[in-house]
Amino acid sequence: MIFNAQNFHLTARIMLGMGIIGVLWVVLDYFLLRPLEEATIARWGLVQR
C-alpha cells in the first residue's frame, strides 16, 4: 500500500499506511509481547530491580 502510493505521490495514503503499521505494533506489543515477557520473567525467576 505504501509503496504503490509512493509511486503515485499519494501522501495521505502513505501517512495512513504508516499509521496502520504503528497501531498494529502497539496492539502486537500490548497483547502478545508484554504477556510473553511477563511469563518469561515468572518462569525463569528473573527480577527487574
What pLDDT score does 41 carry? 85
Map grid coordinates 503499521 to a residue.
21
For residue 13, how many other CB atoms are within 10 A of its CB?
A: 15
What pLDDT score does 45 carry? 78
Asked whether 2 and 17 are in contact (CB, 8 A), the reply is yes
Per-residue pLDDT reduced to its tens digit, 1-49? 899 998 999 999 999 999 999 999 999 999 999 999 988 888 887 766 5
What pLDDT score does 48 carry? 61
pTM: 0.72
